[in-house]
């Protein structure tokens, strides 16, 4: 079984936790840009979800990250060697899909990521494949 969807907008890399010195011990928090992007991913995944998903299944994820082409990049160049880092975008996408398309991202056994210059618009094309358990 396969689910596909598109997360529109500029791809956001998962940011490291920030620390606040408020209070006696301080606290750690996730930056708002990351929280907002994961909420967008969750919304897009929710719209694509189906009721018969095997939530405990092993998962494969394929991402194509579309980023805007800088004016200085030649048209013949397809792959984008610029920020955001694709591994951190993968983390944001996986965390955003937690609890929607699977119980936990520890179920992901395969991931493939490409980062290309956008032809039409920025965003991330996501494909989630559910692997059937063989007894």
**CB neighbour list of residue 75: distance below 8 Å, 6 or more residues apart:** none
CA triple 80-82-88, angle to 5 deg: 100
13 within 8 A of 94, measured Cβ to Cβ: no
pLDDT for 71-128, tens place per residue? Answer: 887 888 877 777 888 889 999 999 999 989 999 889 999 999 999 998 889 999 999 9
Do residues 67 and 118 touch, judged by C-beta distance below 8 A? yes
How far is residue 93's CA from residue 96's CA, in Å, rounded to a whole number? Answer: 5
Instruction: Write down the residue that tokens 């930056």 correspond to.
Output: 31
Which domains, from first to last, does the chain contain?
Answer: 2-131 (3.30.1330.70)
- Distance of alpha carbon 95 from alpha carbon 110, whole angstroms: 15
Q: What is the pLDDT of residues 13-67, one digit of tens each?
A: 887 766 667 666 667 666 778 889 999 999 999 998 877 777 788 999 999 999 9
Instruction: Say how far apart CA 94 and CA 106 lie, in whole Å.
Output: 10
């Amino acid at each position: 079984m396969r689910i596909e969807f598109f997360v529109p907008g500029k791809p956001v890399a998962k940011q490291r936790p920030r620390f606040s010195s408020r209070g006696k011990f301080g606290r750690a928090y996730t930056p708002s840009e990351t929280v907002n992007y994961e909420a967008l991913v969750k919304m897009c995944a929710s719209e694509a979800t189906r009721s018969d998903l095997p939530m405990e299944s092993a998962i494969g994820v394929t991402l194509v990250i579309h980023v805007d082409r800088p004016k200085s990049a030649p048209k013949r160049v397809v792959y984008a060697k610029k920020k955001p880092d694709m591994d951190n975008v993968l983390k944001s996408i996986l965390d955003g899909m937690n609890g929607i398309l699977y119980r936990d991202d520890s179920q992901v056994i395969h991931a493939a990521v490409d980062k290309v210059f956008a032809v039409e618009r920025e965003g991330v094309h996501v494909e989630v494949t559910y692997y059937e358990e063989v007894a």
